Amino acid sequence: MAEHREEVPVAGDGRKGEPRAHTRTAGAGTRSAGAARVPTAAQAQAWDELVAAARRTVGDGLVVGTSGNVSVRVGDTVLVTPSGVPYDRLTPDDITGVGLDGRQVLGTLVPTSELPMHLAVYRTTDARAVVHTHAVHATAVSTLVPELPLIHYMAAALGGPVRVAPYATYGSPELAENMLRALAGRTGCLLQNHGTVTHGATLDQAYDRTAQLEWMCRLWLTASSVPGATPTLLTREQLTEVQEKLKGYGQRR
C-alpha cells in the first residue's frame, strides 16, 4: 500500500529521562529521529541491490508510485525501502535499516509502513529477502479465489498451490498474521485486494518468484476468460512430481 502515516519508535522506551516514541507523517523526505550509524560495506552493497530491485518493480509494472516495498536481511539488520519516497530518488545516504525487533538502527528515513509484514517473514523463516508488490493480475486473482488454481507447474517453485491471505488493513499486525498463515510451507502468497508477497534466499530469487507469481495469475485470468471453455488444471500429484524434479534443476556447484 502507498504509505501515509505511521508510528516510529525513535529513542528510549519511555522510562524516566528518556524520550518517548512519537508519530511522524510519512512522505517523500520525511525523516525519523532514529539512529544513523555508519553502515558496513556489506550493508551498503545490499542497499544498492535493494534500491535497484525496488526501481525494477516500477519498471516492470509490478507497482505504481511508492506502493509495494522491498527488504533484505544482512545479519540481524533488515534493510527496507523507506515510506513514501520515490525509488528513483533514493541514494546511498538514504539507507534505512531496522533490527528484528523493529527499532531503527540505520538511517533517518521512516521505514515502510509494511514493516510488520517483512519482519514477520524474517522472524519465522530463513528468508534473506522479501518483495511485496501490487501487481495487477495477481491482485485481480486475489479478489476472485481463495487459492490460485493450478494452471501451471511453476506453482511448485513456490512450494505448492498459492494461497490468498484474507484482507486486513495495510501495515497492521492482522495482515502480517494472515500473510504468515498463507505462507505456511510456501515462499509466496497473494494478499486479498492488495497484492503479493514472496521471499527467498537472495533478492534475485525473491524477485523471480514475484515475477513467476504474477505471470501465473495472468495466465489463469487469460485462460479462464475464454467464453465456453474451462482451463485444464494440474492435479496435486502432478505438482508433487514437479517439486521432486525441481530439486535437481539448475547447475551443480
> Angle of helix 115-124 relative to helix 173-183, nearest 10 degrees?
40
**pLDDT, tens digit only, all 253 positions of the chain:** 444 333 333 333 333 333 333 333 333 334 455 556 889 999 999 999 999 999 999 999 999 988 999 999 999 999 999 999 999 999 999 999 999 999 999 999 999 999 999 999 999 999 999 999 999 999 999 999 999 999 999 999 999 999 999 999 999 999 999 999 999 999 999 999 999 999 999 999 999 999 999 999 999 999 999 999 999 999 999 999 998 998 877 777 6
Residue 135 has what pLDDT?
A: 98
Assigned C-alpha cell, 7: 508510528
Cα distance from N-terminal residue to C-terminal residue, the chain: 39
Please name the residues in contact with 93: beta carbons below 8 A apart, sequence gap of 6 or more.
Answer: none
pLDDT for the residue numbered 34: 52
The residues with which 25 forms a beta bridge, in sequence order, are 5
Amino acid identity at 215: W
Nearest to 89 by CA among 28, 3, 31, 32: 28
At position 43, the amino acid (one-letter code) is Q
Please report, for residues 29, 59, 112, the alpha-carbon distance to residue 79 in angstroms, rounded to integers and kept in the order given.
18, 21, 10
Among 68, 98, 82, which Cα is nearest to 6's? 82
Annotated catalytic sites, by residue? 114
Q: Which of 224, 188, 225, 237 is nearest to 208 (CA)?
A: 188
182: left (phi over 0), alpha (psi -120 to 50) or beta: alpha
